[in-house]
Structure formats: C-alpha cells, structure tokens
Structure 1
C-alpha cells in the first residue's frame, strides 16, 4: 500500500534529521503528510502513526464514487462563485493562488471545471472525492478510531490542513485531523504562515518536490530543500 510505505520512508528520514541535531521551528504536511508532521512533532509514535495511516487509506479507498480535477491559472473570484453555486463540489486542495483541486460528484466537478476560465483543467486518476463531504462516512469511522488514540502535546507548533494556525495542544490537533477527510487542504494559507513566521528554509521530506515548487512560487524570501533519501543527509 502506497500510503503506509510513504509514511515509513518519511518518518525514517525525520528520525535521521533528528539524529543530526536538526530542529524545525514549525511542521506541516499536505494531506497524508499531516500524519508525518504529527509524528515529527512528537504527538504519537511511529507504530501509532502507521496504524492510523493504514486505517485512513483503507477507509478513503472504500469511499468511492466521486471525482477530482486540478485547475491552474484562474480568477479566484470566479472560481469561488462557481463553487458556491454548486453544492456537490468543493475546493479540496487550495494549493496556491493559482492552483487548486476540485472534489465532488463527477457531474459537478466537470461542470465547474468546464465553466471556469483557466489555463488548464486536469482530471485526476483517483477513486473518490477526497477532502470533501463525500468522505463523511469514512471520516466518522476514522474519528471513532482516533477517539481511542492518545495525542501528546506537540513539541513543535504544527500547521494542520483544516486549520493552518500554529497549534501544540494534542486534543486540538486530534480534532483538526478528524476534520481533514471532509475539509479542504488549506496549503495556500499554510505557506502564508511560513512567511509570517519568517521561516528562512522549508525542508520537504519525502519523494518529489511539488511542495517546494509551490513555496518557491508563493513565498518570497523562503528557501527550499528536499530530503528524499538518506543520501540527501550525507548518509
């Protein structure tokens, strides 16, 4: 399963960074990455995180029937008006000022992305309408599992997907994670927090550099670095 595998790789890289004495000022993660961020902040151990990742991925995979489309280069006001007029589509990933992902029923997503004047609209190969109200049943089951899991207070302030304001209280972070499946990933606002906190370098942990690219284009004065393998740490 891809999600548990990513969690294992990324938490091992977090451990390697810790062993080198590196300390973050803030932590955040995009979608699945929020659980890695919670681990990095000391909210739960790796075994607990892996168990939650497995449950989350299984529940999300079983909640099919929706669609998602990425749209790039648009007028924000026009987009928000089109979404507000259709109760079967939401902005699932607000990735930057010029890039979002729509989620909802196939017909509604197609209607909004088709009506929106944008540079590109790219349907995504996904099995469901993730980060939308279509995930309500899966989210309720996940919340029931989370209720039995202890969340420690975070050692590092964490920016959650559903509320990207810095938070350290374990119970508040648990509640935010409960909301993640049905609410959007507010990454644009997360990047705003990096600028407001005067972060000089954002370190992306895991394969790829998508988030680093978004930060480079959106956060003036914030440098980026990628840690994809142990070789990037000099190991």
Structure 2
C-alpha cells in the first residue's frame, strides 16, 4: 500500500515566474485576490517582478505560502490526499494548511506577521556549510557562544546561525567543500530571535488551531502528531529552534511512507530525500500542470 507524504519548501526555493500558471484557474484567482486584500500587494506581481525584491523575507514568505496553498487545493480538488505532511521552516505553515490545522486566511495572516518580524531582525548572520566533518562542526559550535545549527538539512548540509562574530569565528575553524553566506539580516532559527518569537507568540495565542487531519512532522520535533496544542507549541518554538530536517527525513520510513511529493517551487527537498532515503519514490508539484497534466 502506498503511503504518501506531502512536503513543502521554505525560503530559498522561490523563483521569478513561480505561480504564473495559477492565474488561469478560477479557484486560484479567488485565493490570489483574497491574498492581495490581506497583504496589500499582489503575489503574482512580486513573482513576476524583480528577483531581488522577491528574495526579501517580507515578500518571499507570503508568496510561497500562497502558491503552496493553492497547489494544495488543486491536489485535493483532483482527488489527492496525503497520509503525512511536513514543511521546511516557512513550509511548515503550508503543511499545517494542508492538514487543515487552520484556514487560508488565518495561515496567511500568521505568515505575514512572521515575515515582518523576521524582516526586522538585525545583528545576525547565517552560513550554509556543505560536506564537512560533523563531529568537528559540533565541537566548534559547543565551544562558540551565540552559535547554533539553524537548519540540519542532511548529513552533508547544515546552516549555522548566530552573531556575525560567532559565525565568522566558526567558519575560520571549519573545513568544508563549500561555504555560502546567506543574504539575511537576522540569525534565524536561533535564540537570537527570542524577541521576535515572543511577539509572534502573542499572535499565535490568539489563534485557534484545529487538530490535524493527518499527522505532521514538525521542524522542532520530528515525531508525528495531530494534536492542535502540541502543533501550536512546536510552532512557537520554531522561530528560535533548529529545523531538524535530516531527522524528519529519517522518520519517513518509520511512518511507512513510500512516496514523497514536494509541493511548491524547486526540487531542493526531494533532492535531500533522494540522498537520505533512496528507497522512497519522489514527485514534484510546482505548477498546476504537474497535477492535471
């Protein structure tokens, strides 16, 4: 029996032109119009505009949530349903929408506020590290204040996050095949986001979550749950906690998942799953044609 997980990419997967096909679909048009009222700007205009602007946290996160949510709706309209969901960082909000933990309007308002708080964050630095000695990296992090693994993406790829001084000090001590400094102003998914997290918690506390229709593997705790309060607690912790994507992928076979569908632009997550769980079948849904074609 095939068990399917839907996974949703986060910031970094955006691309100019994403979502352009959705303007031909009646149900999608309604969602795009609703989004414009909530955001005060057009998602499609941002997606068809300047790459640098689209890559700004303030615009990237809402655009991804809207497009991934619409693709989710089209999947459901065509008779597809997941057995499990997960999302990478911002993608977790799309996963929660797919699991019907909240409706589209609620999810987009949360993402809008999250993007604003993260866009305002300053004084931090992040860097992706690829093909490295994990034991050495963990030792460096343990001995460097104000530094954490923000994204544990796979056995060969992590993102470190902290103060600029801490990140630079760590990079001097790490040997890796490739190191890429990320274009962000804040130390996302680290304790340095505590002030933003506290402000965001006030928003989350005012929102009612539903129990999930299907189990969710959360970034902060990759054990499956459908409990509304557990999901909300984990989401509150997500802004300051690490994205444990490597562990999420390793959990998929334990949940008897045999196919993974990445819902959203790009193929980053399926690429990571392919290298981590080669026995799992993979599919990408980036446009409506990937569903109905």
Category of TM-score, reference length = shorter chain: over 0.9
2:76 corresponds in structure 1 to: 18
1:198 corresponds in structure 2 to: 256
Segment of structure 1 superposing worse, 194-203 or 210-219: 194-203
SS in 1 for 2:89: coil
Structure 1 stretches of at least 4 aligned residues deviating more than 2 Å after TM superposition? none
Tell me the CA shift for residue 111 of structure 1. Answer: 1.3
Tell me the CA shift for residue 194 of structure 1. Answer: 0.8
Q: Which of 241, 244, 253 pairs up with 1:186?
A: 244
Tell me the CA shift for residue 22 of structure 1. Answer: 1.1
1:162-190 deviation line (CA, Å, top 9, x unaligned): 01100100011000000001000000000
Q: Which of 188, 191, 210 pairs up with 2:268?
A: 210
1:114 corresponds in structure 2 to: 172
CA distance in 2, matches of 1:81, 1:193: 25
Q: Which of 138, 144, 157 pairs up with 2:202?
A: 144
1:48 corresponds in structure 2 to: 106
1:104-183 pair list within 5 angstroms: 104-183=162-241
Tell me the CA shift for residue 8 of structure 1. Answer: 0.8
Q: Which of 56, 68, 72 pairs up with 2:126?
A: 68
Stretches of structure 2 that go unaligned for 5 or more consecutive residues are 1-58
1:58 corresponds in structure 2 to: 116
RMSD (Å) for aligned C-alpha atoms? 0.9
SS in 2 for 1:28: strand
TM-score, length-scaled by structure 2: 0.79
Stretches of structure 1 that go unaligned for 5 or more consecutive residues are none
1:87 corresponds in structure 2 to: 145
Tell me the CA shift for residue 14 of structure 1. Answer: 0.4
SS in 2 for 1:183: coil
TM-score, length-scaled by structure 1: 0.98
CA distance in 1, matches of 2:238, 2:202: 14
Q: How many residues align?
A: 235
SS in 2 for 1:198: coil
Tell me the CA shift for residue 198 of structure 1. Answer: 2.4
